[in-house]
Homo-oligomer: A and B are copies of this chain.
Amino acid sequence: MAYITQHSAGVPAPVRIGLIGSGWMGAFHADSIARRVPGAVLAAIADPNVESAEALARSLGAAKVTPNAEDILADPEIDAVIIASPARFHSSLIAQAAAAGKHVFCEKPAGQGLEELDAALAAVQASGVHFQVGFNRRYAEDFLAAKKDLSAGVAGTPQLLRSLTRDPGNGSIPNAARVPAWTIFLETLIHDFDTLNWFNEGAEPVEVYAVADALVEPGLRDQGFLDTAVVTIRYSNGAIAVAEANFSALYGYDIRGEVFGSKGMVQAGRATETAARRFTSEGMSADTPRLNVELFRQAYTDELADFAAAVRARRDGLPPSSSDVTLTPGASDARRALAMALACIESVKHGAPAPVPAPAASTVAYAGEKS
């Protein structure tokens, strides 16, 4: 052959990632790693449901499989883990992974109580591993564009903020989601809380007032299931925010954010699937976004690419990548949003405003976070 050069190296070794939990979200993250995130390799999958893990590994053409997360944590070839198990295991897995020296990407919520989360984050801090929580909305192109405008002062000092999540549905709540009560705050609105905190960066949430009800399926009200909620939040800088969620939007997946301030307003949120429009005797129409993994496909890819790049930088002793805006959601972000969700539960229980616990003293100094 006449080839004059042969480049087999020169590029840094990929980050080797172990996935803990191969459910719907875990499988999607695995697919992102395997097919769309450069510089990362899916090396292993742990799931007690071994069949699920095996099927996933097969479909992606690689990755070792184990029923035990411990196997991944003990594997010296693994650089980092993605925690996508049920939420009740998140905090303890974070702590174990940190103790094992694995960098951690954890799906939201990072914990279900402040005590368990603080312990986990303390382990992260002690070990010095990189920690990121799955607040993917920060990586959505329109939310990131809005954040850049806010950082540039386009809206001035925030006065009114809004964030909403409406999950796609068909008017009923799937069996799988008929879990006790507080999912809407702990798993759904926690995204909105982070968006609001990120947009109102520098201020702390002080108080929440939450109302919630079973409006999609009133028949589930007696079982304590809540499918609709509105939360008012007061921030330390005076700004007033509203977060809103519902579990059954017949038109699809509706995610929006808005900041109004002393100089103007910035909005994020995409109303239609694409820019295509049709005009017929029925008027104008367009398709709406249907699934989070469609609307936010790029955001899901980019959050993992950000994670992989940060892990690579740590591993190879490089300076972290810089951005003109705060981007990576870390320990204090995970805790702040969880504190708000927990305060909402108190507010609903008592039908009154509830204070948001102040940040843990240690949280503000988590390693690797901007001060």
Q: How far is the CA of A44 from the CA of B249 in the complex (A)?
A: 49
Instruction: Say whether B44 contacts A3, CB under 8 Å.
Output: yes
The interface bits of chain A over 272-314 (1 if a CB of B lies within 8 angstroms of the residue's CB, else 0) are 1111111111111111100000000000000000000000000
A222-B339 Cα distance, complex, nearest whole Å: 31
Interface size class of A (residues with CB under 8 A): 35 or more
B142 near A262: Cβ-Cβ < 8 Å: no
The reply to whether the CB of A318 lies closer than 8 angstroms to some CB of chain B is: no
Kindly identify which residue among B66, B213, B269 contacts A240, using a CB–CB cutoff of 8 Å. Answer: B213
Which of A52-60, A112-120, A319-327 lies at the interface?
A52-60
Nearest 10 A-B pairs (CB), nearest first?
Answer: A11-B61, A264-B280, A145-B276, A251-B279, A3-B64, A270-B275, A285-B285, A142-B274, A142-B275, A35-B38
Additional 16 contacts, C-beta under 8 A, given A4-B66, A265-B278: A5-B54, A7-B61, A9-B61, A143-B276, A157-B215, A170-B281, A213-B238, A242-B242, A250-B263, A250-B280, A254-B279, A264-B278, A266-B277, A267-B277, A267-B278, A352-B352
19 residue pairs A–B, Cβ–Cβ below 8 Å: A2-B66, A2-B71, A4-B67, A5-B57, A5-B64, A34-B38, A159-B215, A160-B230, A211-B234, A213-B240, A216-B262, A242-B242, A249-B260, A250-B263, A250-B280, A263-B280, A264-B281, A268-B274, A284-B285
